Structure 1
């Protein structure tokens, strides 16, 4: 599949009959749904969207033009990564990604909420550095400390258990991007291996999970995208190396 991001004027590719996820290759929220689809071994198509120059038809699947959006039947879609992932986990239960214990499910959701501060700090550091405050760095490291503590309390390889689950796939896309921050000069956001030994072990384990490994991008690649975004011309297609792809639609005729 081409890594090309479709934009204004591009034609919607024909529906193949599979689940279809509209995403952006560098979006952590879209990656959440990609990882869940991968973990459940589902067949699906990916269509990447240029979020600066959105194709007109994306609004038929996502009212605000945001990603991810999941087309589950021709012309019918749901949006928001958590809504999509809860739907997928209930619709395709063979590979369950949530605990059977209602309390643990609630605890996982609460932990995701408490980690939101670290995610916001990342976005500020990466895409709005002028607004960066010392409190942002503190919030970021507090999130990392809480995650490390939670891993130690649970005593398992992953937060979900011996295998990763919804909570891990929800957190991972941000952890993957956190490693890019020192490469763009935000050294105060570095994940020190001495201080965060348990967390680094967890991250190394996640990188080797098949669902993650097939979609993983290096810190260097994320840093290049962040830098291109900062110059006012986000390079959405930096990974597209295919000259011809069956998924690439023709331009509308003038």
Structure 2
């Protein structure tokens, strides 16, 4: 599949009969949906979108032209990563990714919400460095410490349990990108093993989860994209096959 991002004037590819995810290759929110589709072994097509020069037809699937958007039937779509991943988990329950315990599901949602401060600090560090303040770095590390403590308290390999779940696939895309910050000279954002041993072990475990391994990008690749975007000219089509951890596994079922 081509990594080309379609833009203004490009035609909408013909519908192939499978679910279709409209995404941007470097978007962490779109990645959440990809990971859940992969984890559930679902058949789907990916259509990448240039978010600076959006094709006109993307607004038929996402009113604000944002990604991800999931076309679940020809011309029928839902948008927003949190809506999409919960829909997929409920629609295709054979590989359940949420706890059956309502309290644990609530705790997972609160964990994601509490981690949002670290995500916000990442965006400032990556794309608006002049606005970065010391308290943002502090917020970032508080988020990491909170996440590490939660993993310790749960006593499981993944946040969800002995297998990764929706909460892991929701948080992972940001952890993947956090690893690029030291390569951009932001050493204060490094996730040092001496301080974050449990968290770094978790990161290494997540890298080897098949659903993640088939889509994740190396920190060097994220750093290259971040640099291009920070300069005002995001290089959406920079990837070749060597940049991907491994090829996406063949999907097994509708």
In structure 2, the gaps of 5 or more residues are: 242-254
* Equivalent in the alignment of 1:167: 167
| CA drift at 1:231 | 1.5
TM-score under structure 2 normalisation? 0.94
| CA drift at 1:240 | 4.7
Runs in 1 of length 4+ with deviation above 3 angstroms? none
* Equivalent in the alignment of 1:66: 66
**8 A contact 1:159–1:165 mirrored in 2:** yes
> Per the alignment, in what secondary structure is the counterpart of residue 233 of structure 1?
coil
Higher relative contact order, structure no. (Cα contacts within 8 Å, ≥ 6 residues apart): 1
**8 A contact 1:2–1:240 mirrored in 2:** no
How many residue pairs align between the two structures?
241
Aligned CA RMSD, in angstroms, stands at 0.7
TM-score under structure 1 normalisation? 0.94
Matches for 1:10-159 after TM superposition, within 5 Å: 10-159=10-159
In structure 1, the gaps of 5 or more residues are: 242-254
Q: 1:215 & 1:56 partners in 2: Cα distance?
A: 27
Q: 1:228 & 1:106 partners in 2: Cα distance?
A: 38
> Per the alignment, in what secondary structure is the counterpart of residue 48 of structure 1?
strand
> Per the alignment, in what secondary structure is the counterpart of residue 34 of structure 1?
helix
**8 A contact 1:182–1:189 mirrored in 2:** yes
Q: 2:191 & 2:152 partners in 1: Cα distance?
A: 17
1:32-64 CA distance string (max 9 Å, x none): 000000000000000000001100000000000
> Per the alignment, in what secondary structure is the counterpart of residue 45 of structure 2?
strand
| CA drift at 1:148 | 0.4
| CA drift at 1:230 | 1.4
